[in-house]
Amino acid sequence: MATERTLSIIKPDATRRNLTGKINAVFEDAGLRIVAQKRVQLTEAVAGAFYAVHKDRPFYGDLVSFMISGPVVVQVLEGENAVLKHRDVMGATDPKKAAPGTVRAEFAESIEANSVHGSDSLENANNEIAFFFAQTEILP
C-alpha cells in the first residue's frame, strides 16, 4: 500500500454545528493525518468551479448555495491508502445508506447536507488538493 493524500472538506452543516473536532477525530482514529487545514468562506464562483463536474445534475444549483451557506474547513489528509480509507470513514452519500459509525451516518443531516466531501480517486485528489492548497501549505 502506498502513502497517499486526499482532499477533504468539512461542509457548512457540520461547521455550523461545531463538529469539526469530532469529525477530525474520526479521521485521525482511522490513521489519517491532517497535513493541511484551513477554514474558509467559499464564494459562488469557487464552489461552482469546484463542483463543475456536477454542473448538469439537477442538484447543482442547490449544492453550490449550500456550500456557500457558511464556512467550510478544507484539509489535506495523508496516510496509507488515504483516498479509499477516507471514503470508507465518510460513508455513503445518502446518510440513510451510510454504514453505522461513519461520519455521514453519525452527523449528516441529508443527502445534500452530508457533512463531508472526499476525493473519489487519486487523480481527483491531486487536482482538488492543488485547487485549494499551495505545496508550501502542506506540512507532513
Could you tell me how far CA 21 lies from the centroid of its own chain?
A: 14
- Of these residues, 117, 119, 125, 133, which one is catalytic? 117
Q: How far is the CB of 56 from ligand IDP (least distance, A)?
A: 13
Provide, for the chain, the percentages of residues in helix, strand and coil under a 3-state DSSP scheme, each rounded to the nearest 5.
Answer: 45, 20, 35
Does 111 contact ligand IDP by CB under 6 A? yes
Q: Is position 86 annotated as part of the catalytic site?
A: no
Q: Could you tell me if 88 and 98 are in contact, meaning their C-beta atoms sit under 8 angstroms apart?
A: no
84 interacts with ligand IDP by CB under 6 A? no
Sheet containing 33-40: give its strands across.
33-40, 72-80, 3-10, 116-118
115 binds ligand IDP (CB under 6 A): no
96 annotated as a binding-site residue: no
Site string for ligand IDP, 41-60 (x = CB under 6 A): ------------------x-
**Closest distance to ligand IDP from the beta carbon of 78 (Å):** 20
- For residue 23 the three cell numbers come to 469529525
Strand partners, 127: none
Q: What CA–CA distance (Å, rounded) separates 76 from 9?
A: 9
Total residues contacting ligand IDP (rule CB under 6 A)? 8
Question: Which residue ranges make up the site for ligand IDP (CB under 6 A)?
Answer: 59, 63, 93, 111-112, 114, 117, 120
List the catalytic residues. Answer: 117
